[in-house]
Structure 1
Amino acid sequence: MPTSARTKARREAVRLRMTTIGIIGAGFIGSQVARAAITAGYDVVISNSRGPETLSDLVAELGPKATAATSKEAGAAGDFVVVTVPLKAYEAVPVEELAGKIVIDTNNYYFERDGHIAALDEGKDTVSEMLQRHLPTSRVAKGFNHIKADDITTDGKPAGTPDRRALATSSDFDDASALVEKLYDEIGFDTVNVGPLKDSWRVERDQPAYVIAQTKQELIDNLAKATR
């Protein structure tokens, strides 16, 4: 089987096994990922830090494919999980419920919100590596961190569109990167794989690729321009 055919088959196998997304964090990014995922055919179980009863309006809007839950319940229910909480709260993300699962990390470091973290200020660590250490039995992939929330549901275009927007992912695990790529494609975006989590800083705050609309080649070029 040619490499491209094997890759396509592997991605489809991943997709068939994973139909429910647990979302931990129901803010701007989390709610928009939920909307896009439901449009793509997924079920979502979504949570926030205040309790499922505070998500009744959002769940009513999302419809029958959405359920509100606690963070632990959302983590346990998801075939894979999107973590989209402020960095300062990442240690509250449940560990046991996410064991063995792919976890998409949308986070960015804002010292104004999170307080100064020396290892990040000094370029010795990355946000997603921190989450990976917190979730040692999960497989973390970066995703949705360099796009404005509203663009998640408005900028997607069919595959093959010449000016299709591209988003980046990064992971230490091939299947985690493949899942993000599959999800991006389903909701209308091309993908550029940055490489391992240690290189995920290239698509974070204040870098050329951060929060701008760009094609796949433009994203590749902007990643190359990144300086730490």
Structure 2
Amino acid sequence: MDTLTNSGSDSRPTTIGILGAGKVGTVLARLAVASGYRVLIASSRPPAAIALTIDVLAHGAEVTTASDAAGRADLVILALPLGKAVPRDGHQALPVGELRDKIVIDAMNYWWEVDGKRPDLTDSGATTSELVAALLPGSRVVKAFNHMGYHDLDEGPRPSGDPDRKAIALSGDDVAANEVAADLIDSLGFDAVDLGPLAEGAVLQPGRELFGANLSAAEIRDVVEQAAA
């Protein structure tokens, strides 16, 4: 494994920005509101176009623009289609300036049905989160919330210590950022399993061993150990 960077201690975020108002984005918004976070949510559509949907699916979340959500949030989750975040023409779709120096959790996956045939996302030898990190050189990118189906994510939260509590795996190159992401995962009702650097998150991608996993922390560690054997 590569050596991780430790950027020092981070205070617990109080405001979560979510870029993407689809199924995963709205579930995460709902869980975060229920856990006491202030939530700012945005999509590629104007705020007024998603306001009613968010009021129904994530009541309590504030609808705004992507730049505003990224600028005001302490931590930002990317839950939009990967093809929009990493556009084919090189046009920067993410609010890079507002995301600078912030922890950015990548919850995205590559789906050819949505993103189109994208060899640039599949044939580079890097994980998709590493590609996202390359677009956000000033951000601290963590991969998380991508391997569990949104139904399981919605129905899965349990208090710490519950024998039926499920786990969410994460990966990232910044130890302190990983710890903040793990704390967020715990506060939303799941155990966190830190796999190490972003490159180790390959096991979380579609078609790999942990994709679709709705498992306990111990079970996730067993799958990772077997995959590495």
TM-score band by shorter chain is: 0.7 to 0.9
Structure 2 residue aligned with 1:182: 183
Q: Is the 8 A contact 1:208 1:225 kept in 2?
A: no
1:54 maps onto 2:55 in alignment: no
Q: Is the 8 A contact 2:169 2:193 kept in 1?
A: yes
Structure 2 residue aligned with 1:168: 169
Deviates more, 1:110-119 or 1:129-138: 110-119
Structure 2 residue aligned with 1:28: 23
CA distance in 2, matches of 1:34, 1:67: 10
CA distance in 1, matches of 2:191, 2:212: 15
Gaps of 5+ in 2: 1-8, 87-92
Structure 1 residue aligned with 2:142: 141
Structure 2 residue aligned with 1:108: 109
More helix by share: 1
Could you report, residue by residue, the CA deviation over 1:111-159 in whole angstroms, capped at 9, with x for unpaired residues? 3332334355346111111111111101000111011112223111111
Moved segments of 4+, more than 6 Å: none
Q: Is the 8 A contact 2:152 2:214 kept in 1?
A: no
Secondary structure, counterpart of 2:170 in structure 1? strand
Amino acid at match of 1:57: L
Secondary structure, counterpart of 1:14 in structure 2? coil
Structure 2 residue aligned with 1:81: 76
Which of 37, 43, 59 pairs up with 1:42? 37
CA distance in 2, matches of 1:222, 1:113: 28
TM-score, normalisation: structure 2: 0.87
Amino acid at match of 1:14: S
Name the structure, 1 or 2, with higher relative contact order (CA <8 Å, separation 6+).
2
CA RMSD in angstroms comes to 1.7
Give the share of equivalent positions with the same residue, in percent: 37
